[in-house]
Amino acid sequence: MASAGKSYCISFQNIQAALSTVRPFVKKTPVMTCSHLNRLANRNLFFKCENLQKTGSFKFRGACNAVSKVVASNQDGPDRELSVVTHSSGNHAQAVSLAAQVQGVTAHIVMPSNSPAVKKEAVRSYGGLIVECEPTEQSRVDTADQVAEKTGATMVHPNQSPEVMAGQGTMVFEILEQVERVDAIVVPVGGGGMLSGISVAAKELCPHAKIYAAEPKNADDCAVSMARGERTPLPAPPVTMCDALKTSIGPRTWPIIRDHVDDVITVTEEEIKAAMRLVWERMKLVIEPSSAVGVAAVMTDKFQKLPANAHQNVVVILCGGNVDLEHLPWMSQN
């Protein structure tokens, strides 16, 4: 758990500042409940609907904070066109594109060639300039570096940028206004930017609340890292329907996760698919597989065995709702 005197790349004060920065741009997303899911989980579940955020995911929070920082840092500089660059499989790409568009900044978006067509179309609709790369982490990084060198654009990393991490943490302020008492927060994890921001904010604002990471078993580097006590990136690109969770936790997010997160719950592809369909059918909410990971986690035997009195009110982050309607998980088996 968090220890006094430890220093991380973001602080609670950074998240407070980010809240003021992003407030004019982001939606205050609703928290929704479902009595049927409460019965299944034997808990009071509160779903933070970041799938209803602008661009369809929580990523817009961090993108707005990061782009605003670029604009602010150049206010007294030479009069030139400002630009940012990032690499993303889709949700962060859309978020940076819109965040840049509304602030008059050019966005260069490096996307894997196999990114879902619906996400590429959305990036273009928000004004992002797409540069395709091979579907590997190294290709993403190398291509983004090349674009930055060629254009002078400022890098906005999807999960290792402190400004992005602080922006994601702003949702905790909203959650605590919307839920009377929070005993636990379940957060999907890929690169760890959202998990880190939420963890730092929550441990300051509601220190009694437990923080659980939810992760696909097929992309379980966070669980492995926590078990070993050292960051252990995935050895190869994982095979999972969760596009947004294929990235390993990074060097900046790892120390925060290591010291703030209480446990990691992994779920199978079948559990993810079932949870996604459950939310679509019973809550009438469009969520993507990465969102369903948190829902699946609270349905597992591992979570059910946690002390009920200390885990009565559980917040589950529905992190995104960008899906390709032509390729839904339950359609692919037909």
Strand 263-267 and strand 154-155: the pairing is unpaired
171's CB contacts (< 8 A; 6+ apart) are 29, 48, 50, 58, 61, 198, 317
Distance between CA atoms of residues 14 and 197, nearest Å: 10
Distance between CA atoms of residues 9 and 303, nearest Å: 30
Structure tokens, 175: 């959650």
Give catalytic status of residue 302 as yes or no. no
Distance between CA atoms of residues 170 and 185, nearest Å: 14
The amino acid that residue 328 corresponds to is: L
Exactly one of 57, 83, 88, 89 is catalytic; name it: 89
Give the H/E segment covering residue 87: strand 83-87
Give catalytic status of residue 54 as yes or no. no
Distance between CA atoms of residues 214 and 317, nearest Å: 10
Exactly one of 48, 54, 59, 273 is catalytic; name it: 59
Burial of 40 (0-12, 13-18, 19+ CB in 10 A): middle
Strand 44-49 and strand 31-32: the pairing is antiparallel
Structure tokens, 114: 């196999």
Q: Which residues are catalytic?
A: 59, 89
